[in-house]
Chain A
Amino acid sequence: NAGVTQTPKFRVLKTGQSMTLLCAQDMNHEYMYWYRQDPGMGLRLIHYSVGEGTTAKGEVPDGYNVSRLKKQNFLLGLESAAPSQTSVYFCASSLSRSEQFFGPGTRLTVL
């Protein structure tokens, strides 16, 4: 099993550009999450999903959109990237309220 995978691993964007980060899990987990990690801020929840076709806002949702069309995939979109969105993005999944399993992360730089 690959667990949780994320693509791409690295990306550089110019301000105003758009992109989509893909998260995939092969553990048949219902719950999926997108976090951003910034120095001194820990992990902050952007959006999450409790099942296929459902999404909800987390702690810092502004500037991001998500979709969960298939149970195994959770997409994070940036419609118009800003330098403040420079961060490392982590996807995680869990089986209801159990342990969250994290992907390897995507390092995004917005110039």
Chain B
Amino acid sequence: QQQVKQSPQSLIVQKGGISIINCAYENTAFDYFPWYQQFPGKGPALLIAIRPDVSEKKEGRFTISFNKSAKQFSLHIMDSQPGDSATYFCAARDANDYKLSFGAGTTVTVRA
């Protein structure tokens, strides 16, 4: 049973558009929410992360929005580029642990 539920499974966006990926969780002890980006044939790499004491974090064209009361967080990719085509995983870590629980992943395809 996955502790972090991720949607959609895949999405296609035109170049310059906005990609939005959503994740939800139940464990209120989660205190760290990273997003990993994975290109085909490669291992995942940390893209951006947020802690629950802030509602938004932005790094370049990537923004995490966090809603603590709804137990949801999302990744927004602004001005999507073909180079952003990859699989994105949300994850969460319990405050009393060091292991990450991953979502199922979202494959993003950016059409030129």
Residues B43 and A97 in contact, CB atoms below 8 Å apart: no
Residues A43 and B44 in contact, CB atoms below 8 Å apart: yes
The stretch of B62-70, B75-83, B97-105 in contact with A is B97-105
State whether A102 and B43 are in contact (beta carbons under 8 Å apart), knowing that A42-B89, A45-B99, A97-B98 are contacts in the complex.
Answer: yes
Residues B43 and A42 in contact, CB atoms below 8 Å apart: no
**B17-35 Cβ-contact flags toward A at 8 Å (1 or 0):** 0000000000000001010
Contacts of A58 in B (CB 8 A): 99
Checking A4, A42, A48, A90 against B99 with a beta-carbon cut-off of 8 angstroms, the contacting residue is A48
Checking B6, B34, B45, B46 against A42 with a beta-carbon cut-off of 8 angstroms, the contacting residue is B6
State whether A105 and B43 are in contact (beta carbons under 8 Å apart), knowing that A48-B99, A99-B34 are contacts in the complex.
Answer: yes
Residues B46 and A99 in contact, CB atoms below 8 Å apart: yes
Residues B102 and A104 in contact, CB atoms below 8 Å apart: no
| Closest CB in chain A relative to B23 CB, distance in Å | 11
State whether A96 and B9 are in contact (beta carbons under 8 Å apart), knowing that A4-B43, A104-B43 are contacts in the complex.
Answer: no
Name B's A-contacting residues (CB within 8 A). 2, 6, 9, 32, 34, 36, 41-46, 49, 89, 93, 98-100, 102-105
Contacts of B44 in A (CB 8 A): 43, 90, 102
A94 at the interface (CB under 8 A from B): yes
State whether A42 and B98 are in contact (beta carbons under 8 Å apart), knowing that A90-B44, A104-B42, A104-B43 are contacts in the complex.
Answer: no
Contacts of B98 in A (CB 8 A): 31, 50, 94, 96-97
Find the A residue at minimum CB distance from B6: A42
State whether A43 and B45 are in contact (beta carbons under 8 Å apart), knowing that A97-B93, A99-B34 are contacts in the complex.
Answer: no
What is the bound-complex CA distance between A106 and B44, given in angstroms? Answer: 13
Contacts of B46 in A (CB 8 A): 99-100
Contacts of B6 in A (CB 8 A): 42
Kindly list 14 other residue pairs between chains A and B, CB separation below 8 angstroms, not including A92-B43, A99-B34.
A4-B43, A31-B98, A40-B104, A42-B104, A42-B105, A43-B89, A90-B43, A94-B98, A96-B98, A97-B93, A99-B46, A103-B43, A105-B41, A105-B42
| Closest CB in chain A relative to B98 CB, distance in Å | 5
